[in-house]
Amino acid sequence: MPPPLQAQRLLLSHRRLAPSHRRLFTVVSSLPSAPTLATGAVPSSILSIRESLLSGERTAADITADYLSRLRRTEPSVRSFIHVADAAAEREAEELDRRIATGGREAVGPLAGVIFGVKDNLCTANMPSTGGSRILDGYRPAYDATAVRRLREADAIVVGKTNLDEFGMGSTTEGSGFQVTTNPWDDSRVPGGSSGGSASAVSARQCVVSLGSDTGGSVRQPASFCGVVGLKPTYGRVSRFGLMAYASSLVVVGCFGSSVIDTATILSVIAGHDKMDSTSSSHYVPDYKSELIPQDLLESKPLNGTRIGIIQETLGEGVETGVISSIKAAASHLEQLGSVVEEVSLPSFCLGLPAYYILASSEASSNLSRYDGIRYGRQISADDLNELYGGSRANSLGHEVKMRILMGTYALSAGYYDAYYKRAQQVRTLVKKSFNEALERYDILVSPAAPSAAYKIGEKINDPLAMYAGDIMTVNVNLAGLPALVVLCGFVEGGSAGLPVGLQMIGSPFSERASYDAAVNRLCLPDGFEASRIKFQDRFHGVY
Amino acid sequence: MALTLLRGIRTPTLFRRNAGLFFTTIHPPLSSFTTRAESAQATESKAAPKSIQLATKEAAEHKKQGFEAVIGIETHVQLSTVTKAFCSCPYNYGSQPNSTVCPTCMGHPGTLPVLNAKVVECAVKLGLALNCEISMTSKFDRKQYFYPDLPKGYQISQFDIPIAKEGYLDLDLPVEFGGGHRRFGVTRVHIEEDAGKLLHSESGSYSQVDLNRAGVPLLEIVSEPDMRTGIEAAEYGAEIQRLVRYLGVSNGNMQEGSLRCDVNVSVRPVGQSKFGTKVEIKNMNSFSAINRAIDYEISRQIVLHKEGQADQIVQETRLWDESSQKTFTMRKKEGLADYRYFPEPDLPEVVLTSDYIDEIHKSMPELPEAKRRRYENMGLSMQDVLFLANDDNVARFFDSTLEHGADAKLAANWIMGDIAAYLKNEKLSIDEIKLTPLELSELIASIKNGTISGKIGKEILIELIAKGGTVKSVIEEKDLVQIADPAAIEAMVDQALADNPKQLEQYRAGKTKLQGFFAGQVMKASKGKANPVLLNKILGEKLNANS
């Protein structure tokens, strides 16, 4: 029986051999420079919606109609939604308008008129919730996931359910049981995954913000691929109730937005203890969006005193040079803003990936047992019980899901448990320890969010190990349960406008605020960002 | 509303291998036990505890044949908490199928377990009552297998760190079974959730799932393999039942499945330290059935040993069949089931404080063993002790009667005699009658001080049991005060002698038995109120004086 460490070497060697990673990209700063937008041109979408709504400039119906029309226009190429709840969204918007008309601004919640997408592994009452799996085709839960409920209670409007790799297992959204989502920056490329639908929907402005879930990078990697802000909160920060479990000890509900302040706003609403989830934290929930460093202070070295560590192991072999240079450029930008940036080594970093895949698969093999076709979901007709189980699951679950169930079942089996599951837990403890030590010396650790920018659809679909290797930047953060924020920090060549590269900022538990401060909106974007962004807008969604 | 959860599937072969009997059992995969019990029996025994003496006939009988049985018991106790273990559904035995279910106990996507704190309290109570070491930190694990009555595909249980472990249970065997005190080891007590139930159609062509019971909290108590006979095992079960009732954690009802015992039985030649191959027996729904099933199984195994067919004893699950009074094979164990236990990631560890445990300790009532020892010290016979202590309600009545000043022996006699007979006839329990402990103590006092005779006492007792009231009021109302005035009795005696000259003649001719006849006549005339001692004294004097 090979010890788990060998399995890890295998993964890494695949990663090194992947030819796609050998291609060199130049940093997009070489792209022709375009007129820079004025400071404050990337405002909070949520804030501007609120202002226009409450000033009477626009109605919730107008705002909803805008988003729905853009959604209808872009959806045929992006395919980020499995289910669009347009009629319900319009109804809710009209209801909001009525309340504003009769009760004024006090009558509506803080997120009134904010159109949001929900990753389809989060339950939404009376709306299809499939987890991207055919086995739940047609399933409509009776309840909202807590995160969804809290957004709805703040009067945000659900526009639909976004596509994902089946039950969150995958890094490209190609693993969906329903459709393949494309990257709005280049429709021949993947949006990343597993929350690919949520990332591409925000990127294409099909909605203002969206909810995702992050088990091993499922919010951060697609945020990086799609050039949006992606937040993975601390484990336990947001209730998991209503989130279809894949790996319970690793996953947290996260969110996407087009600005840092928008994700901060969403986090303030969805965070906090929930009596329906015993693993949710009762740690104090601050107003994450208040007192973020204002953009007009950017010249005054606002990050003075902040210690930032670049994780050495994330800038080595197997990482695209374009990604590395984007991160380094972002780092020097952070330095210019007053922070001290140093390289830091996390020796256990490369152990995380195999440990993650063992733990995640083990938990998945158990969590997915409930999809047996007995109480809900697809059921085949069969003559005996084993056939019923086998048939229902074999017909309706996808390859990747089956593979992980098998791997997890194996890892938990008598005689293998100690060598795999237990050993992986030990590695997890090591990873946690090394992150905690580093976070004693640094306020924030930074790294790329993924070793490459978005790759082509189909490129890794038959090479799961190469795909798993792409999670190297993110899985450790889940093992350690830390918060991390991904913001756009540069571009590499590709597509018509270049391909976005995300910077991952990792903080101590419950220090989401620190990452926000360091990110201060588009703080770390090098020159050339605006050029790409404008090109992207022109090509894709026109004005927004 | 019997919701068909197995939506329209035909399962003709589904349970074929289990024959018809499977239908009557609760749950094969859940109760087929695992590595824990396996290893408990497989390891070399540290010889039976010294307290085990071969006092009972059966054990002596087996030993005579050169064999000894080894018995271990797994008991599942269903807790009578208001809500289920991990969701807020209520549970009531016998409710309409699928009427007490919610997304969580039905295993819907995205639902999470939230531990009912009451369950931990019950577990700690029972753990303390079983003299266990309580784990200050314990955790939950998932036990995984597929079955339609198990909604999540795993049962939340406790694997390597149970909430309580290494305890023991003291009991006294009934006098009619030879008596004797026993101490049986308790390996562990852990928390888990119950599964639902399958309802099979009469034709056997389909099955339906009732999830009312899914998620109901259970405590599983695993004993050491310390028992040697059926009666020891049955009494162990009965003592567990008394404990859970004393503690108020369960109704302990076997018919409703609130208390289920699975026993493991093996037989080995006397003197051998290694255990024989063990067989698991299920489907016993009374302690008497446990006793009979085990004794049958021991005999079956001994016969096989003696016939040189010990290899026919295989590790298997057998069912007790009440009609034929036999056990027979339900299924053979094909190797060890692998439940792929791993820590439940949806629930945090259960961390207890010593204050919490102390608080529970303080709140616990006097337990059966302490009660028995206390009664024994009062000078009561073991028969009395067991009768009084076995039923919590009876013990409370008895203790209360003593608190009002009654003599222990007299109170015991009344309770075990007239009161018990009444309860048996009327099928009532002692807390359902109108007689109060205070009035029983009054009654005993009235007899002792001669206000009423014992015979009148019995009449009053029945009156009090049925209608209530006080001893005083009944005595006054019915004018039952004993006649203790010698002159009045003498007058009645004279009258009786005068009224029955023929009998008097016969007495004097030597038929002295007739004294009883005269006494009866006097009693009749006094409506039973004449003091019997005085009456006999005076009557004797009169009869003999004139001879």
Residues of A in contact with B142 (CB under 8 A): 366
Give the residues across from A308 on adjacent strands.
Answer: A341, A444
DSSP sequence for A319-365: S-HHHHHHHHHHHHHHHHTT-EEEEE--TTGGGHHHHHHHHHHHHHH
Residue A523 is predicted with a pLDDT of: 47
Q: Cα B544 to the chain's mean position, in Å? A: 57
CATH number of A4-539: 3.90.1300.10
Q: Considering the entire predicted model, what is its pTM?
A: 0.82
* CA–CA distance, A527 with A118 (Å, rounded to integer): 33
How do residues A431-447 score in pLDDT, each as one tens digit?
Answer: 999 999 999 999 999 99
Sign of the CA dihedral with A259 first, then A260, A261, and A262 last: positive
Residues 6 or more apart in contact with residue B449 via CB below 8 angstroms: none
Task: Report the alpha-carbon distance of residue B222 to residue B226 in Å, rounded.
Answer: 11
Question: Tell me, what's the pLDDT at B330?
Answer: 81
Residue A317 and residue B253: Cα distance in Å, rounded?
67
> Is residue A80 within 8 Å of A200, Cβ to Cβ?
yes
The DSSP output letter for A92 is H
State the average pLDDT for chain A. 85
Smallest CA-to-CA distance from A127 within A92, A165, A84 is with A84
B205: nearest Cα among B29, B4, B5, B8: B8
Average pLDDT over residues A45-73: 92
Q: How many residues does chain A have?
A: 544
Q: Which residues of B touch A122 (CB under 8 A)?
A: 110
Give me the mean pLDDT over the A64-70 stretch. Answer: 94
| pLDDT at residue A399, rounded to an integer | 93
Contacts 24+ apart (CB under 8 A), B379-382: B379/B408, B379/B409, B380/B408, B380/B409, B380/B412, B382/B172, B382/B175, B382/B179
3-state secondary structure of A236: coil
List CB contacts (< 8 A) between A385 and chain B: 11, 14, 148
- What is the pLDDT at residue A203? 93
Helix (H) or strand (E) holding A6: helix A4-17
Angle (CA) B49 B51 B52, round 5°: 75
Residues B381 and A448: their CA atoms lie apart, in Å, by 82
Instruction: Tell me if A141 and B103 make a contact (CB, 8 A cut-off).
Output: yes
Residue with tokens 């792409």: A470
Closest CA to A219 of A179, A275, A266, A156: A266
CA A305/CA A340 separation, integer angstroms: 7
Q: How far is CA A198 from CA A169, A182, A223, A229, in A?
A: 15, 11, 9, 11
Place of tokens 């380094």: A328
**Which helix (H) or strand (E) segment is A488 a member of?**
strand A484-492
Dihedral sign from CA coordinates of A142, A146, A152, A157: negative
> Cα dihedral sign for A529, A118, B346, A354?
negative
Beta bridge partners of A315: none
Give the HSE-up count for residue A280: Cα atoms under 13 Å, Cβ half-sphere.
22
Per the DSSP assignment, residues forming a β-bridge with A499 are A492
CB contact under 8 A, B13 and A278: no
Sign of CA dihedral B517, B519, B525, B529: negative
- Distance in angstroms (rounded) separating the CA atoms of residues A200 and A117: 10
* Binary contact (B114, A384; C-beta < 8 A): no
CA end-to-end span of chain B: 87
- The separation between CA A151 and the C-alpha centre of its own chain, rounded to angstroms, equals 17
Higher pLDDT, A279 or A334: A279
- Taking the C-alpha atoms of B98, B103, B106 and B108 in order, what is their torsion angle to the nearest 10 degrees? 140
Q: Which residues of A touch B105 (CB under 8 A)?
A: none
The greatest distance separating any two alpha carbons of chain A, rounded to the nearest whole angstrom, comes to: 74
Is there a contact between A243 and B108 if contact means CB atoms under 8 Å apart?
no
In a mutational test of the B interface, the residue from A361, A369, A379, A413 whose CB has the highest number of chain B CBs within 10 Å is A369
Q: How far is A243 from chain B (nearest CA, A)?
A: 4
Largest Cα span, chain B = 101
CA distance B209 to chain A (A): 9
- Cα angle: A439, vertex A442, A445; to 5 degrees: 75
CB within 8 Å: B5 and A375: yes
Q: Are strands B164-172 and B181-193 parallel, antiparallel or unpaired?
A: antiparallel
Q: In the prediction, which pLDDT does B502 show?
A: 86
pLDDT in tens, A140-197: 999 999 999 999 999 999 999 999 999 999 999 999 999 999 999 999 999 998 999 9
Q: Is B365 exposed, middle or buried (0-12, 13-18, 19+ CB in 10 A)?
A: middle
A161, two tokens = 């359910």
Q: Which of A454, A455, A444, A462 is nearest to A516 (CA)?
A: A444
pLDDT tens digits for range A274-311: 999 999 999 988 887 776 666 666 677 778 888 999 99
Name which residue leads in pLDDT, B14 or A231.
A231
Mark out chain B residues that contact chain A at CB-CB < 8 A. Answer: 5-14, 35, 103, 106-115, 142, 144, 146, 148, 151-154, 209, 336, 338, 340-342, 345-348
Catalytic positions of A, written as ranges: 119, 194, 218
What the block records as the tokens of B98 is 């699928």
SS3 A299: helix
User: What ipTM does the predicted assembly reach?
Assistant: 0.87
User: How do beta strands B197-200 and B207-210 pair?
Assistant: antiparallel
Contact predicate A238/A268, CB 8 Å: no
Please tell me which of the candidates B153, B336, B346 has its beta carbon nearest to residue A370: B153
Running DSSP on this structure, what letter comes out for residue A117?
A: E
Do the chains contact at A278 and B114, CB–CB below 8 Å?
yes
Two structure tokens written together for B131: 């003299």
User: What residues are paired with A503 via a beta bridge?
Assistant: A448, A487
Residue A466 token pair: 């190469």
Cβ-defined contact of A248 to B346 (cutoff 8 Å): yes
Neighbouring residues of A177: CB distance < 8 A, sequence distance ≥ 6: A130, A132, A133, A134, A135, A137, A166, A396, A398
Place of tokens 């016993």: B284
Chain B's closest residue to A388, CA to CA, is: B9
| pLDDT band (50, 70, 90) for residue A517 | low
Name the range with the highest mean pLDDT among A349-353, A514-518, B427-431, B499-503.
A349-353
Cβ of B109 and A141 within 8 Å? yes
Distance CA B189, CA A270 (A): 39
DSSP annotation of B431 reads G
Token couple for A243: 């989130």
DSSP string covering A179-210, please?
----BTTBTTB---SSSHHHHHHHHTTSSSEE
Residues of chain B with pLDDT under 70: 1-60, 64, 333-336, 479-481, 546-547
Give the distance from residue B141's alpha carbon to the nearest chain A alpha carbon, in angstroms: 11
* Residue ranges of A 359-378 with Cβ closer than 8 A to chain B: 362-363, 365-366, 368-372, 374-376
Q: Write the CB contacts of B367 (distance below 8 Å, at least 6 apart in sequence).
A: B129, B243, B246, B247
Distance CA(B319)–CA(B257), nearest Å, equals 16
Q: Give A388's contacts in chain B (Cβ within 8 Å).
A: 9, 11
